């Protein structure tokens, strides 16, 4: 006897919040990522190409080779990223190791103005990831940006000093918490109590890379998404994960002093970032922030195949 198989579809209570990044939108799905039959009309995941304004001495050689001399000039990196067809840029103003931070903040403001003058691509702006320094840096950058950007990260320890300026200047905000669903919800509540609209908040669950906590980050992001889809309004925001930041810290991505069976460093490093990114996307991340152009293209192809475009 023949039986007709019908693909089961899970119906959730709500959709993920849609957020406008000033030209590109993210979120809007009504199911888990890549569940295309269930998700309905939504925006496909995004990749942000990350550009650092200061290249550390210990920056991986493979990234330097990929970007060549332009890596030391953020404006040239922006031009290259746009010419490469990347749709979203993440500019990290990493001045945490500079001696004269007041001078570097003024310099960062001018760099941001120059970047905004040469590209219309949506921008994610991040700072030093040092809480005290970012109070001054992110506030200054928010005031200097001439159009809507997405700015972060803020944490529970410094959001009160930074978020009002980001809010008043009309930008989106990235809220970072240490891989904990309850702390994530708490910070989102605090931001909305401060007057931030929920549709201007992105969740950063502080990702781990492949082999360094990815499985835990994966499960937390999945739990955040399931809670949001089941009606939790304070977790119902798109998720952003800083994949490049984490993947390129690992010895697998930057060291040749490893067993021979680990294979070619270049191939291994690119795949390390790609595997971390694809895993974060599968867990529910709406935006992955990446560094190597070849890895970005791998993930771009992965997304396009999954969304059939």
Is 221 in contact with 206 (CB distance < 8 Å)?
A: no
Instruction: Name the CATH superfamily for 19-28+42-306.
Output: Dihydropteroate synthase-like (3.20.20.20)
The rounded distance, in Å, linking the Cα atoms of 107 and 18 is: 33
For residue 232, the model assigns a pLDDT of 97
Q: Is the pLDDT score of 50 beyond 70?
A: yes
Q: Is the pLDDT score of 59 beyond 90?
A: yes
Q: Is the pLDDT score of 9 beyond 90?
A: no
For residue 40, the model assigns a pLDDT of 63
pLDDT 10s digits, 245-279: 999 999 888 887 778 888 899 999 999 999 999 99
| Average pLDDT value for residue range 230-234 | 96
- What are the domain boundaries of the chain? 19-28+42-306
| Average pLDDT value for residue range 140-169 | 98
| Average pLDDT value for residue range 43-71 | 95
Q: Which residues touch 142 (CB under 8 Å, ≥6 apart)?
A: 125, 149, 151, 162, 165, 166, 169, 171
> Model's pTM, two decimal places?
0.95
Angle CA 139–220–231, to nearest 5: 85
Residue 160's CB is within 10 A of a number of other CB atoms, namely: 13
pLDDT 10s digits, 67-103: 999 999 999 999 999 999 999 999 999 999 888 999 9
pLDDT 10s digits, 166-194: 999 999 999 999 989 999 999 999 999 99
- 173: enclosing H helix or E strand: strand 172-176
For residue 36, the model assigns a pLDDT of 67
Is 150 in contact with 169 (CB distance < 8 Å)?
A: no
For residue 309, the model assigns a pLDDT of 55
Q: Where do runs of H (alpha helix) occur along the chain?
A: 36-39, 61-67, 74-83, 101-118, 131-144, 159-168, 181-193, 214-229, 243-247, 251-254, 265-283, 293-306
Between residues 4 and 53, the one the model is more confident about: 53
Share of the chain above pLDDT 70, in %: 97
Work out the mean pLDDT of the chain and round it to a whole number: 93
């Amino acid at each position: 006897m023949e039986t007709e198989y019908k693909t089961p579809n899970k119906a959730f209570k709500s959709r993920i919040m849609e957020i406008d990044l000033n030209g590109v939108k993210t979120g809007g799905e009504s199911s888990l990522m890549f569940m295309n039959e269930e998700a309905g009309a939504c925006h496909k995941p995004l990749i942000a190409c990350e550009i650092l304004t200061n290249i550390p001495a210990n920056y991986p050689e493979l990234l330097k080779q990929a970007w060549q001399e332009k890596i030391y000039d953020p404006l040239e990196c922006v031009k290259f990223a746009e010419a490469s067809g990347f749709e979203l840029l993440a500019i990290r103003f990493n001045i945490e190791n500079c001696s004269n931070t007041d001078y570097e903040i003024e310099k960062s403001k001018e760099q941001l103005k120059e970047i905004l003058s040469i590209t219309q691509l949506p921008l994610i702006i991040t700072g030093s990831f040092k809480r005290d320094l970012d109070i001054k840096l992110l506030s200054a950058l928010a005031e200097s940006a001439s159009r809507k950007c997405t700015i972060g990260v803020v944490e529970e320890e410094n959001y009160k000093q930074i978020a009002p300026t980001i809010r008043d200047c009309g930008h989106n905000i990235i809220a970072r918490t240490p891989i904990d669903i309850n702390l994530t919800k708490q910070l989102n509540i605090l931001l909305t109590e401060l007057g931030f609209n929920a549709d201007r908040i992105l969740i950063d669950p502080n990702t781990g890379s492949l082999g360094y906590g990815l499985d835990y980050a994966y499960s937390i992001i999945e739990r955040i998404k399931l809670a949001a889809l089941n009606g939790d309004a304070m977790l119902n925001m798109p998720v952003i994960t800083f994949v490049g930041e984490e993947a390129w810290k690992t010895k697998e991505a930057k060291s040749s002093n490893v067993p021979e069976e680990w294979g070619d460093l270049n191939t291994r490093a690119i795949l390390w970032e790609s595997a971390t990114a694809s895993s974060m996307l599968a867990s529910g991340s709406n935006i992955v922030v990446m560094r190597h152009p070849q890895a970005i293209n791998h993930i771009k192809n992965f997304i396009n195949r999954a969304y059939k475009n």
